[in-house]
Amino acid sequence: ETVTLDPKTAGPFVVLSQDYKTIQFRDGNQSLPDISKRFTSNAAVLGSQGFTSGRHYWEVEVDKEKAWAVGVALESLLKKELNLLPKCKEIWALRRDCDRQYKTDPAPPDPLTVTEELRRIRVHLDHEAGRVTFYNAENTKQIVQLQSTFTEKVFPYFCLYAVETQIRLC
């Protein structure tokens, strides 16, 4: 699946590459037009294409030394509010916290065990089944699967938590 980043959703703390394939944390708030789709309090961005049905996947390269989140978000996600994981009910994500721990939102019933530093992640969305599955794309090993019911359009979701962090779509 070819996924690109939607510049109209990019928050003031991120910079996108010209090809809309890389998101990088920006230290300092930049002045951007106030668009209803835009994140205003998070270093986050959505993919430009949303999905209402079918199976879709995309791969990202993540910074193994920094904090980030990748996954999916509902179209109804309120972008003008600070969307703190794990409290946000409109996001299903795998994240690496500043404490170097991998976690998911929402948290799975069993503890998440990741024994290796992740560099490349495949996100697989099955809209009808309500599943988001994360794989280590380097060895195709499943990391975790999150279950829900999607009743609206779902978008790829990317968020950065630290200066000099970046995520690149493959």
| Cβ neighbours of residue 151 closer than 8 Å, sequence gap 6 or more | none
Using DSSP's 3-state secondary structure scheme, residue 141 falls into strand
- Candidate from 47-56, 90-99, 103-112, 148-157 with smallest mean pLDDT: 103-112
The tokens describing 8, both together, are 């109209």
What mean pLDDT, rounded, does the chain reach? 88
What confidence category does residue 64 fall into, taking pLDDT thresholds of 50, 70 and 90?
Answer: confident
Range of the domain at 155: 14-169
- Which whole number is the average pLDDT over 31-60? 86
Where is pLDDT greater, at 156 or 32? 156
Contact 102, 94 (CB under 8 A): yes
CA dist 120 and 71 (Å) reads: 13
pLDDT tier at 36 (50, 70, 90 boundaries)?
A: low
Mean per-residue pLDDT for 78-91?
61
- CATH number reported for the structural domain that contains residue 96 in this entry: 2.60.120.920
Mean pLDDT of 125-146: 96
pTM over 0.85: yes
CB 145 within 8 A of CB 69: no
Residue 1, domain member (yes or no): no
Rounded percentage of the chain residues whose pLDDT exceeds 70: 88
Does 4 reside within a domain?
A: no
Please tell me the total count of domains within the chain.
Answer: 1
pLDDT the model gives residue 126: 98
In a domain, 75, yes or no: yes
Mean pLDDT over 120-143 rounds to 97
Look at residue 142 and tell me if it is in a domain.
yes
In a domain? residue 8: no
Q: For residue 6, is it within any domain?
A: no
Position 102 in a domain? yes
Q: Is 2 a domain residue?
A: no
If you count them, how many residues does the chain have? 170
